[in-house]
Homo-oligomer: A and B are copies of this chain.
Amino acid sequence: MVETPRAAPPGRACPAHDLGIVDGLVQLSAIVQAVLSRVTAGADLSVQQGRLLSILRDREPSMAQLARLLDLDKSSTTGLVDRATQRGPVRRFADPEDGRSFRVVLTDDGRRLTEVLGNEVAREVAALTDGLSDTNRHRLSLLAGRVIADAAVARGIGLSA
């Protein structure tokens, strides 16, 4: 929805090329997703496999915790981890504390791959703002951070403060 360039709604201060906040955020989101898709595809991975790797960068979660982090059903998580395990970057190990539980961790190859992909995503996403001044890039970063923090609160996940 809200994807096609369209005339701005009346009654707002809208300089010639302002898409408005709705189309602006939706289109910006699509551009960032396209970067994630392109970078992961370059490593012959899906976006979801990339998401999995990024989550495992600094965690060794159980399947149940992983399902929660990914916001997926536990059965979907089983499939995702199965495919990642077959491809190599991830492995399971039995949790010594709980006989029911398996935890998921990057393999050495997986860690190297995750670093490479993370660097590439960082470079390409940052490059999206190459046309902005340092000041405006920083403003954008701060405004995004505000929206993110508010959304976290709305989800009840709120941060410290």
Q: Is the CB of A131 within 8 A of B145?
A: no
Closest chain B CB from A23 CB (angstroms): 9
A28 proximity list for chain B (CB < 8 A) = 25, 28-29, 32, 144, 147-148
Q: How far is the CA of A122 from the CA of B151 in the complex (A)?
A: 16
Q: Given the known A-B contacts A18-B145, A19-B145, A139-B139, are A39 and B128 also in contact in the complex, defined by CB atoms under 8 Å?
A: no
Q: Given the known A-B contacts A31-B147, A51-B3, A55-B4, are A19 and B141 also in contact in the complex, defined by CB atoms under 8 Å?
A: yes
Closest chain B CB from A97 CB (angstroms): 23
Q: How far is the CA of A14 from the CA of B108 in the complex (A)?
A: 32
Q: Is the CB of B125 within 8 A of A19?
A: no
Q: Is the CB of B19 within 8 A of A50?
A: no
Most chain B CB within 10 A, of A31, A54, A126, is at A31
Closest chain B CB from A39 CB (angstroms): 7
A121 proximity list for chain B (CB < 8 A) = 1-2, 22, 26
- 9 contacts across the A-B interface (CB closer than 8 A): A1-B54, A1-B122, A18-B145, A19-B145, A25-B140, A25-B144, A128-B151, A132-B146, A139-B139
